[in-house]
A and B are shown apart, each in its own frame.
Chain A
Amino acid sequence: MPDAISPTDLVRRSNLYRVSTGLGASWADVNGFACPADYGDAAGEASAAAHLGIADLTALPRAGYKGWDMAGWTASQGVDLPDPNQARPQSDGTLACRLSGGELLLLSDDGAASATIDKLADAWTMEDAVCYPVPRSDTNARIAITGASVPHMMAKMCGIDLRAHRFDNHRIAQTSVARMNAILIRNDRGDTYALDMVLDSASIVYMWECLTDAMAEFDGRAVGLDAVRALAG
């Protein structure tokens, strides 16, 4: 068995890492970025993820592009763009989230790689730029909130009606959650309702505490990347 990874051994880690360590996280190395793989209770986390779980997925690749001809440029690179405030999975599993006419957010799937993000990063140059990169990987955190009870819990924190029949899969709400700006993307894992929340990286400890407090009455818990991956099958 390989030696256990410590988050401080790796080059990058989420601002939540001390909290995750306190919860008993075992760590995975995602492209040099420490990610909580599990919290030592695989069976409990798997059932929580289907019911109500939160996972710090900040380690997974992200990218953003914004500018007057973002749509033209990303389409020329083969991105299949949805309408504003909608997301669309690409052939490699990357989720293309269109935040407005001229802004795109790319989230990898729960694997550790995104061919679309790598391709755009290689193709973009300053010289012929019609849009510019947004440093989503450095400035944002990502939390997956999974399970059937998510809309009930989120109703305590957010003014948007996120119930499954009102907020379709791959819809986006850019709104205020617990008085903080956040992007909510419905991104079901398999048949399980799930939201990906993208927020300011420096505020993840605050948001995690708010989520932990809100989910207590629904018996939610922190789950690792492995439990989220298992949902998608």
Chain B
Amino acid sequence: MKIMPCPLNGERNISEFAYGGEVLDLPAPDCDDETWIDFVYLENNTAGVVREWWYHTPTAYWFIAERDTRTDEILKTYPANEVFKDRVDFAAPEAPAAKE
């Protein structure tokens, strides 16, 4: 049985968790399509230490885990607010011009 140390609930069976993908920096909202495609669909597939989103299903709790993909060893887990400290606001899109 593989054990995941959850920052909220302590050590739990890995079957209580779901994987949520790599932790990535959000691209600028006006970036080109290729950058968005890379962000949304493409995995870096790094051999080494990666930062990943994990989710504890019974508590609906998202957190970040650092894992070595070569050994599948979980090195460290911590709450997401240690990384994401500030609220991200987006400017509202400009209203379409009224038809004449």
Contact = CB atoms under 8 A, between A and B. Distances in A.
Contacts of B16: 175-176
A183 B13 CA distance: 16
A174 interface: yes
B9 to A, nearest CB: 6
Contacts of A99: 59
B57 A100 contact: no
Interface size class of A (residues with CB under 8 A): 10 to 19
A154 interface: no
Contacts of B8: 84-85, 100
B17 to A, nearest CB: 10
Interface in B45-88: 56-59, 61
Interface size class of B (residues with CB under 8 A): 10 to 19
Given A85-B8, A100-B8, A174 B58 contact: yes
A148 to B, nearest CB: 25
B63 to A, nearest CB: 11
Interface in B1-57: 8-9, 12-13, 15-16, 56-57
Contacts of A176: 13, 15-16, 57-58
Interface of A: 84-85, 99-100, 159, 173-176, 181-183
Interface of B: 8-9, 12-13, 15-16, 56-59, 61
